[in-house]
Amino acid sequence: STRPQTLAYPLTDSPIGLLAWIYEKLHDWSDNYPWTDEEILTWVSIYYFSTAGPGAAGRIYYEVTHSKEYEEVLKWNGRVKLGLAHNPKDLDVFPRLWSRTLGNAMYEAVNESGGHFYATEKPELLVRDLRRMFKDGLKGV
């Protein structure tokens, strides 16, 4: 979005509008995960009742991508150890080689399913990935 505050006003003004907006993201950005009413309402509540308000999510994406440091973030950083999980229904699915250009990939998983909300959709795979990545305490890193 080029003007995230424009979206923030109606999302703050209308809880039903916020519900529709969040539900669309949960539906479209996941890999056929069966969201329960409680999970959906929890997401809506977190956005609606947070101190920053529903517009905060849009602002952070805008601010990050429009900052002077954004291009620096995308450059190789050998000091940062990366764990990569490739999920077929994520927002952006890049070639694996591209991800490795950001830093030292200590661990990499290519999953057969999963989307943007990986931690909720496939918690068992996230736990597997974290255990494998940190099993040796990152020795030799």
The model's confidence at residue 119, banded by pLDDT at 50, 70 and 90, is very high
pLDDT of residue 26: 95
> Per-residue pLDDT tens for 32-86?
999 999 999 999 999 999 988 888 888 888 888 888 888 887 788 888 888 999 9
Residue 141 has pLDDT above 60, yes or no: no
What is the crossing angle of helices 37-49 and 15-28, to 10°? Answer: 120
